[in-house]
Structure 1
Amino acid sequence: MHDFLAHTLHGEPPAITQARLPALHWQWIDEGILEITPEQPATMALVISAGIHGNETAPVEILNRLITPLLQGDKPVLPRVLVILGNPAALRSNQRYTRIDVNRLFGGRWQQYDDCAEARRAWRLEQAIEHFYHSGCCDEVRWHLDLHTAIRGSYHPRFGVLPYSARPWPADFLQWLGAAGLEALVWHNAPGGTFTHFSCEHFAASSCTLELGKAQPFGSNDLSQFAAAEQALSALLYGEALPAVAQQPRHYQVAQQITRQGAQFQLHIDADTLNFARFSQGALLAEEGERRYVVQHAEEFVLFPNPNVAAGQRAGLMLVETPPRSETQ
């Protein structure tokens, strides 16, 4: 198997589902799930996922371009790697999701929904990542990088969202995120149903959702815009040089979440508002019945505003900028 993406989009397993090459062994675990194991002992267990949202195709193309040399035996691999294309059905149809947003279903939240393909997919991905991490050595470093692109434009086109964690973040992990070209890092202040929160909470992985640009369909991506992220991933996978940090990312903390509860919800943020747009204290952001969301700090910055989410889901985040963190574990 030389083209993981093509086989996944085709919807059938490859004729050969595993192979041992001079430097590594690979195994097709399930649709869109591939495990790559080096012949030499590894000190890191690395999960790289993309395509959790089916209309975010550039990270999928980059990930496929990175693992193809491994499957062809042209490159060595340093860590144990689990490669995941999150929602193959949505990728085939160029839709964000077919029924339910998979990235709201992790941590067992899929059990709250009627049986459907995406609830089953979240459950399957939970199983895959649990087996992968538990099959390694107890002292392995665990990272999970979930690659995305955003629906709307942004004042910071490339940024990372880190899940809530009571543990300090490893300095080398934060350094890697800067080397990957991220211009901003956002820290959550509460648990959530994302894939990265699941891996962080349940397996103590250093996890980050990487938003690497604007969502485009297959064939419309300018992959040169993702050069820093691709080079940083190459450094992890092949042991190549890590790119220099062009600029230190700005740091933000989630201050409040805007949640849609039902049909009366109104979001007072224009549809063309960019991520990280600034709002002043007292500005009305959204309302639903007697519930009003207003800017509580001197200034807050909006992230992921979307009035069309399902009831009970996040319709936006408001952030405050914080001094840069320097953490170690």
Structure 2
Amino acid sequence: MTFSAEKSEAIIEALLSCRLRDARFPAALEASWLEEGVLQLLPAHPTGAVVISAGIHGNETAPVEMLAALLASLMAGEQPLSQALLLVFGNPPALRAGKRYLHSDMNRLFGGRHRHAVPGNESRRAARLEQATAAFFQRVEAEGDLPRVHLDMHTAIRGSRFPQFALIPFHQHRYGAAFYTLLAACELDAVVQHTAPGGTFSHYLSDAFGAQSCTLELGKARPFGQNPLSCFAAVDSAIRALLAGSALPARKQPPMRFFTVAQSIIKTSSSFRLNLDPSVENFTQLPAGFEIACEHDKSWRVDDVAPWILFPNASVAPGLRAGLLLKPDLSPQH
């Protein structure tokens, strides 16, 4: 399935402007907009609570088109819903502008970090998304102690040796085997476990509400209308099975690879230099001893324990992550 650019723009604008406030949903669903682009759908007797978000970065459009198609199926009554569901279209102004963000990287501003950020679109939106998700989970509590799942869908700036992968935020509560079964059903190539808190939306929902949450990276960022959505069919099928409360699709690909973050490369000054070709792919294995980055009198070198590079980016602002070094994890901790 591929959306035309015109159809994508029309659908997204309708969603973001809340022109669907008066849209009809099946009678069994209670529908309400909590914010611009934030829709809550409640069946009569939910068996779980699911948050699905996309468009936290405005230039990552494939997940937004996937959510638009899912919403159309829910409105038509074609998609069964057994879960309390919050659909989040993350950054409306950036989506309209076709930019990653307008003032600040919003996926670094959650968990209250927006209060100390440059005032602007993203700091305001992060605060409102925190309020909307809090309202959703407060509403869900009235239904009992339901399991909570959050999938924050993104696409990556650069190519990847493992094109589709999940990032699990640092967490202190248990992630059950069922959550990893869900990721496997999505036909993901790899799973990366963070080892320190962060300002991402997935970390916020995990930390603040006990959700089993992750960031999904689904291929490369493209403009609206240029996304080969068939490449994400397994993710779409797994999400739809989760929402329906039906059996997950059986995995057909080789087992997922597991990694853990061994080191974060933090840029602290304008003298920072990343010694990698700009075209290097995520999950590239680097030679031991290679000086991957330097600034002033500090140097980062690759060792043979953690040779895989993820998200190298020298252009980030000082104080932000310029790359991650990964080590293999043969026995991932749930």
Same fold (TM over 0.5): yes
Task: Say whether 1:141 aligns with 2:144.
Answer: no
Instruction: Report the CA distance between 1:32 and its aligned residue.
Output: 1.0
Query: SS of 1:16's equivalent?
Result: helix
Query: SS of 2:265's equivalent?
Result: strand
Aligned AA for 1:36? L
Which of residues 323, 329, 332 is equivalent to 1:322?
Answer: 329
Query: Aligned partners of 1:54, 1:172: CA distance in 2, in Å?
Result: 31
Aligned AA for 2:266? T
CA contact (8 A) 1:50 1:63 kept: yes
* Residue in structure 2 matched with residue 12 of structure 1 by the alignment: 17
Alignment CA distance shift 1:215-1:15 (3 Å): closer
Query: Aligned partners of 1:233, 1:216: CA distance in 2, in Å?
Result: 22
* Residue in structure 2 matched with residue 227 of structure 1 by the alignment: 233
* Residue in structure 1 matched with residue 4 of structure 2 by the alignment: none
Task: Say whether 1:33 aligns with 2:38.
Answer: yes
Query: Aligned partners of 1:215, 1:18: CA distance in 2, in Å?
Result: 30
CA contact (8 A) 1:55 1:96 kept: yes
Query: Aligned partners of 1:95, 1:121: CA distance in 2, in Å?
Result: 15
Query: Aligned partners of 1:69, 1:224: CA distance in 2, in Å?
Result: 17
Aligned AA for 1:174? Y
Which of residues 54, 57, 66 is equivalent to 1:50?
Answer: 54
* Residue in structure 1 matched with residue 28 of structure 2 by the alignment: 23
Instruction: Report the CA distance between 1:245 and its aligned residue.
Output: 1.4
Aligned AA for 2:93? A
Instruction: Report the CA distance between 1:298 and its aligned residue.
Output: 3.8
Query: Aligned partners of 1:233, 1:197: CA distance in 2, in Å?
Result: 20
1:110-189 matches, within 5 Å, as: 110-137=114-141, 138-189=144-195
Q: Deviation per CA, 1:117-165: give whole Å up to 9, x if none.
A: 1100000111111111121134110111000111111010000000001
Q: Which structure 1 residue ranges, 5 or more long, are not aligned?
A: none
Alignment CA distance shift 1:259-1:65 (3 Å): same
Query: Aligned partners of 1:311, 1:299: CA distance in 2, in Å?
Result: 24
Q: Deviation per CA, 1:81-119: give whole Å up to 9, x if none.
A: 000011111111111111111000001111112321110
Instruction: Report the CA distance between 1:280 and its aligned residue.
Output: 2.5
Instruction: Report the CA distance between 1:15 and its aligned residue.
Output: 6.5
Task: Say whether 1:195 aligns with 2:211.
Answer: no
Alignment CA distance shift 1:258-1:79 (3 Å): same
* Residue in structure 2 matched with residue 302 of structure 1 by the alignment: 309
What is the TM-score when the length of structure 1 is the normalising length?
0.93
Alignment CA distance shift 1:52-1:122 (3 Å): same
* Residue in structure 2 matched with residue 107 of structure 1 by the alignment: 111
CA contact (8 A) 1:171 1:326 kept: no
CA contact (8 A) 1:4 1:68 kept: no
CA contact (8 A) 2:79 2:240 kept: no
Which of residues 262, 273, 285 is equivalent to 1:278?
Answer: 285
Aligned AA for 1:12? S
Query: Aligned partners of 1:12, 1:245: CA distance in 2, in Å?
Result: 38
Instruction: Report the CA distance between 1:257 and its aligned residue.
Output: 0.4
Task: Say whether 1:290 aligns with 2:294.
Answer: no
Q: Deviation per CA, 1:267-290: give whole Å up to 9, x if none.
A: 111101000000122211111111
CA-based RMSD: 1.8
Which of residues 197, 213, 218 is equivalent to 1:212?
Answer: 218
Instruction: Report the CA distance between 1:31 and its aligned residue.
Output: 1.0
Aligned AA for 2:323? G
CA contact (8 A) 1:19 1:25 kept: no
Number of corresponding residues: 324
CA contact (8 A) 1:280 1:298 kept: no
Alignment CA distance shift 1:276-1:222 (3 Å): same
Query: Aligned partners of 1:24, 1:279: CA distance in 2, in Å?
Result: 51
Instruction: Report the CA distance between 1:9 and its aligned residue.
Output: 2.3
Query: Aligned partners of 1:4, 1:80: CA distance in 2, in Å?
Result: 26
What is the TM-score when the length of structure 2 is the normalising length?
0.92
CA contact (8 A) 2:113 2:199 kept: yes
CA contact (8 A) 2:306 2:325 kept: no
List structure 1 segments (4+ residues) > 3 angstroms apart after TM superposition: 3-8, 15-20, 296-299
